[in-house]
Amino acid sequence: MASRSIRVSKFLSLVLRHAPGSIGLTLDEGGWASVEELIACAGRHGTRLDRELIVEVVASNDKQRFRLSDDGLRIRASQGHSIAVDLGLEPVTPPEVLYHGTARRFLEAILREGLRPSGRQHVHLSGDEETAVAVGRRHGSPVVLRVAAGRMAADGLVFYRSDNGVWLTDRVPSAYLEELGRER
């Protein structure tokens, strides 16, 4: 069952974050889709889903990537969209320090140019080093960057926090970055 949940989670990531049209699914401006429409569209495109499986995947996803509406009739991705959606997040004051995990091969460009969304709506930041290491490891040899989020906010840059706790911002200029373990 675990492998099926992983496959469904990847499918949901694709259609709720990046390509709803690939199965004929429509998201509203907030990124929400009808669960019934999702099930029907997925079935027409060869992926069998039912409400129970969707509820299980939403509840068991370790990163809490998805959220069901309070009435259980709609679903959306918590963050990570490459398509335009308005998650309705309010600006929040971040902690003094946040973290970003990446692969070592990207480090030079990031330290030169800063962090940009790279095809997504926001730059994703973590509240702890361990999560940043795990994120960086997905892309290669991990590097963790310390982000001076408190200074950024004081300088007028805006932060949001997604439903699953990921910190979001439009960009992180290089002046606010430091490789963990190295002084700049």
Whether pTM > 0.95 for this model: the answer is no
Q: What domains appear along the chain, each with residue ranges and CATH number?
A: 2-77 (1.10.10.970), 98-179 (3.20.170.30)
Q: What is residue 172's predicted lDDT score, i.e. its pLDDT?
A: 98
Judged against a pLDDT cut of 80, whether residue 22 lies above it is answered with: yes
C-alpha distance from residue 53 to each of 23, 39, 56, 115, 131 (Å):
18, 10, 5, 36, 27
**pLDDT one-digit tens code per residue, 163-181:** 889 999 999 999 999 998 6
Judged against a pLDDT cut of 60, whether residue 21 lies above it is answered with: yes
pLDDT band at 80 (very low <50, low <70, confident <90, very high): confident
Judged against a pLDDT cut of 60, whether residue 101 lies above it is answered with: yes
Q: What is residue 125's predicted lDDT score, i.e. its pLDDT?
A: 97
